[in-house]
Amino acid sequence: MPAELFDHAKLARVAGSYLQPMLEAAAARGVTARALEQAAGLPGGTLEPLPEALPAAAYVKLLDIAARLAGDPHFGLHVGERVKLGTYTVYGLVLLSCRDFGQAFEQTMRYEQLAHDLGRSTLQVHGALADYTWHSNYPAHHRHLADSVFAGIRVFGNWLAGTTLPPAELSLMHDGGDAAGHAEYMRVFGALPRFNAMSNVAQFEASLLSWPVPNADVSLYPVLQQHAEQLLKQRAGPATAAAGIVAQVHEAIVHRLSQGQVRVASVAEDLGLAPRTLQRKLADAGASFQQVLDDARFALARDYLRQPGLSLVDIAFLLGYQEQSAFTHAFREWSGMNPGAWRAAGR
């Protein structure tokens, strides 16, 4: 069972400093923090003054709400452009003390969870090329989330390098919106991304990893790293418990799917809990029953689609859907493409 399915349960929050660029981008377009609170159904004072942290699911919801209220189809890009050193909390200072970009990527994968639980990064080097992949903990149709992350990386990377970095070959899982607005992607990234991709990936020359970080104070690295490690340990206790309940529910759902439809009551019974208790424990972990069910179905669907002997009707049945159309609609929400297209792209 892929561990990344449960990353959203590790406290599932966004640091207050990471929230700041979104609030600034919204305010620049006439949308106040209070207007965002009201539209999202949040108590007054949730966003202003800045909270220490905000549930990650609430942050993702706010991105979409702010884009709608601002009438900005590229709101995610404009949020990312407002990223600063302080946006990433202690993790940003760690990056500033790295000797080169290779070390900065290593520290990103280790410490990005100190800034948010929106997703996780991986880096693979193959020959002369390197692939930076961002694995979102939220459905692929959240275009503003992916745009904000990669725009932020682009802006912060340029700032860290002290120059404009060569454009990466960027692939994004969402559809890119109206083609008439693609010029904004060109402006921010220096090249047009490939949309409707199977994953969110920035590919670049691996030689970039050896580029030094100008003005880096490498003498501060050991102190900052020690502080960052202490913060990770503080999060480990509640994160482990949160991941535990989500993993248990995930396993119970997979077992139940093999027997037919899945209900909250039946899964709660399997775990020896009352349905309300189960839902409360999931909420404490920053998840919901529907979210875990979608994660389980999406993981199983990808496995099934790799098996050529299974038709889409068979897969829909195995996932507990009464109609293939319901499965097709759900898969499009999760991945940004139809299951048939995903299967063909995988081949």
Lowest mean pLDDT among 40-44, 166-170, 242-246: 242-246
pLDDT tens, residue by residue, 204-256: 999 999 999 998 888 988 889 888 888 887 776 655 565 678 888 888 888 88
**Can you give the pLDDT at residue 180?**
86
**Are 112 and 245 in a shared domain?**
no
The answer as to whether 119 is a domain residue is yes
Give the domain extent around 321. 232-346
**Can you give the pLDDT at residue 140?**
58
CATH number of the domain encompassing residue 63: 3.90.1520.10
**Can you give the pLDDT at residue 295?**
86
Phi and psi at residue 140, in whole multiples of 5°? -65, -20
The answer as to whether 226 is a domain residue is no
Radius of gyration of the chain (CA): 21
CA atoms of 33 and 66, how far apart (whole Å): 10
Which of 167, 185, 220 is at the close of a domain?
220
Is this prediction's pTM over 0.75? Answer: no
The total number of structural domains in the chain stands at 2
Phi-psi region of 230 (alpha: psi -120 to 50; beta: other; left: phi over 0): alpha
Which of 175, 197, 220 is at the close of a domain?
220
**Are 44 and 123 in a shared domain?**
yes
**Are 198 and 322 in a shared domain?**
no
**Can you give the pLDDT at residue 246?**
84
Which of 220, 253, 282 is at the close of a domain?
220
Look at residue 31 and tell me whether its pLDDT is greater than 90: yes
CATH number of the domain encompassing residue 244: 1.10.10.60
**Are 205 and 286 in a shared domain?**
no
The answer as to whether 260 is a domain residue is yes
No. of helices (H) and no. of strands (E), the chain: 15, 6
Residue pointed to by tokens 């561990």: 3
**Are 212 and 84 in a shared domain?**
yes
Q: How many CA atoms lie within 13 A of 192 on its CB side?
A: 11
**Can you give the pLDDT at residue 237?**
60
**Can you give the pLDDT at residue 28?**
98
Mean pLDDT of 86-94: 89
**Are 193 and 249 in a shared domain?**
no
**Can you give the pLDDT at residue 8?**
42
pLDDT tier at 347 (50, 70, 90 boundaries)?
low
pLDDT tens, residue by residue, 99-151: 999 999 999 999 998 899 898 899 999 889 999 999 888 865 689 999 999 99
Phi-psi region of 303 (alpha: psi -120 to 50; beta: other; left: phi over 0): alpha
pLDDT tens, residue by residue, 270-309: 888 999 988 888 887 777 888 889 888 888 888 888 888 8
pLDDT tier at 193 (50, 70, 90 boundaries)?
very high
Listed in sequence order, the residues at least 6 apart from 126 whose beta carbon sits closer than 8 Å to its beta carbon are none
DSSP code, position 336: S
Q: Is 130 helix (H, G, I), strand (E, B) or coil?
A: strand
The answer as to whether 225 is a domain residue is no
**Are 245 and 135 in a shared domain?**
no
**Are 172 and 216 in a shared domain?**
yes
Q: 234-242: long-range contacts at Cβ-Cβ below 8 A with a sequence spacing of 24 or more?
A: 235/10, 235/11, 235/113, 235/114, 238/11, 239/9, 239/10, 239/11, 241/285, 242/9, 242/10, 242/11, 242/12, 242/284, 242/285, 242/286, 242/287
The answer as to whether 338 is a domain residue is yes
In terms of Cβ atoms closer than 10 Å to its own Cβ (0-12, 13-18, 19+), residue 178 is exposed
**Can you give the pLDDT at residue 160?**
94
The answer as to whether 286 is a domain residue is yes
The answer as to whether 318 is a domain residue is yes
**Are 15 and 161 in a shared domain?**
yes
The answer as to whether 254 is a domain residue is yes
**Can you give the pLDDT at residue 7?**
41
**Are 310 and 166 in a shared domain?**
no
**Can you give the pLDDT at residue 239?**
54
**Are 128 and 236 in a shared domain?**
no
Q: Provide the sign of the torsion angle of the four alpha carbons 268, 274, 278, 283, taken in this order.
A: positive
Residue pointed to by tokens 């682009």: 154
| CA 182 distance to own-chain centroid | 22
Look at residue 13 and tell me whether its pLDDT is greater than 90: no
**Are 170 and 70 in a shared domain?**
yes
